[in-house]
Amino acid sequence: MKQQDGTLTLPSGSKAAGAKLHLRKWLPEGPPKAIILLVHGYAEHSGRYQYFAEHCVDSGYAVFAVDHWGHGRSDGVPGYVPDFSVFHDGLDQLWACARHDFPELPVMLVGHSMGGLISATYLLANQSRFAACVLSGPAIKAAEEPSVFLKAVSGFLSRFFPKLGVVELDPNGVSRDPQVVADYLADPLVYNGKMGARLAAEMLNNMTDIQQNAEKISLPILLLHGEKDSLASADGSKFLDGHIASSDKTLILYPELFHEIFNEPEKDAVLTDMTDWLDRHVAARGT
């Protein structure tokens, strides 16, 4: 496996124009059969997906990822985003980078947690760019549905106190593997502070957006979720399964798994479920 690091720049039209995003590529030694664009979750970074990337590269895929604005080695303010579209702008640049390197290969989108929300909302306008999509523990519905009052307060704080910390995630909900939790807490590139009011409000708004427009998605889609996920409700994946227009859709629920299903003790089985599904879709395009 070859690993390459680089930088992408957000374009002039972005609300974070000129910001530098850290780019990672994991490539097989020979020609890849398809590209996976990996969209990581809130507060983490793409470097936490080394094991994921190794599994995918061993299966013949090239994996491309960026650290989102405000995350990992990228520019920006942790726990904050000026507008959710900045995450979409980063995905635009990542897609363009992958197409530049491998213009003939099918592109698969894989989003985890907040990355699942970024991916799902991105599909509303860009699904023609992808051959298929996998969402892992997508943040489509909050673990606890916010009240109307809380949403109103969230909007007020987002406007007037956008960087005020309002939400703190429990790291113990990440995985049942205590080593994964310990590594998460010790990782200097993981943000352990509170989520700011602007980002919290932007996430709630985009959850509403995808819930209201899910029927616009017709792309082949695989939904993977741990049923004991305390950070992003499995009801979100169930909702998508029931509302997207895709005729080719699969929902797999893992009864005992926590939020980061790619970092649970059963991760090899989960990753195999994913690449087996992707392999079928790559093969179908060649027939």
Residue among 42, 19, 35 at smallest CA distance from 232 = 42
Q: Please say whether the beta carbons of 48 and 7 come within 8 A.
A: no
* DSSP code per residue over the chain: -EEEEEEEE--TTSTTTT-EEEEEEEE-SS--SEEEEEE--TT--GGGGHHHHHHHHHTTEEEEEEPPTTSTTSSS-TT--S-THHHHHHHHHHHHHHHHH-TTS-EEEEEETHHHHHHHHHHHHHGGG-SEEEEES--SSBSSPPPHHHHHHHHHHHHH-TT-EEE---GGGS-S-HHHHHHHHH-TTS--SPEEHHHHHHHHHHHHHHHHHGGG--S-EEEEEETT-SSB-HHHHHHHHHH---SSEEEEEETT--S-GGGSTTHHHHHHHHHHHHHHHHHHHT-
Euclidean distance between CA atoms 208 and 206, whole angstroms:
5
Euclidean distance between CA atoms 275 and 15, whole angstroms:
35
Active-site annotation, residues: 113, 229, 259
Give me 13's structure tokens. 């039209």
Q: Please say whether the beta carbons of 44 and 38 come within 8 A.
A: no
Q: Please say whether the beta carbons of 71 and 78 come within 8 A.
A: yes
Euclidean distance between CA atoms 181 and 173, whole angstroms:
8
